[in-house]
Structures are given as structure tokens and as C-alpha cells.
Amino acid sequence: MDEERFQADVRRFLKKFGVTSQREIEDSVRRAVDSGVLAGDERLRIEAIVTIQGIPEPIVVEGELALEN
């Protein structure tokens, strides 16, 4: 395995994933607040699941989003 190539590809994927998912999360939460689905003061549980072809177990990353201080 070419370790440098692999790491570069992982970083490239994570950069794309991070930018895209941040935009989508922000837009989705704003729409939910604007439409009244969310009040705007919640703490929301968030989970990202990444699957890799050929790897049986998904990678799960969990966290929380606070909509207010």
C-alpha cells in the first residue's frame, strides 16, 4: 500500500465531506427553525456514519449541536 497516496486520499475525502456536510447541516437546521419544527434553543444529537466498500463495519462519529449558548 502506498501510505502517502492513501493518506492524501483520506484527507481529500475528509475535506470534501467536512465542507459539504457543514453546509447541509447548517441549511437543514436553519430550515427546521424557520419552519417551526425546531424552536432554536435545542441541543441536537448528531451522528455521521461512513461506510467503506469492502470494510464490514461502518465508522460512526457522534456529537451534539447546541443551537443556543
* Chain Cα centroid distance, residue 18: 7
Question: For the chain, what are the domain ranges?
Answer: 3-66
pLDDT score of 5 more than 90: yes
Q: Which of 37, 63, 38, 39 is nearest to 49 (CA)?
A: 63
Q: Which of 39, 41, 49, 50 is nearest to 68 (CA)?
A: 41
pLDDT score of 69 more than 90: no
8-53, pLDDT tens digit by residue? 999 999 999 999 999 999 999 999 999 999 999 999 999 999 999 9
- What is the C-alpha to C-alpha distance for residues 37 and 29, in angstroms, rounded to an integer? 9
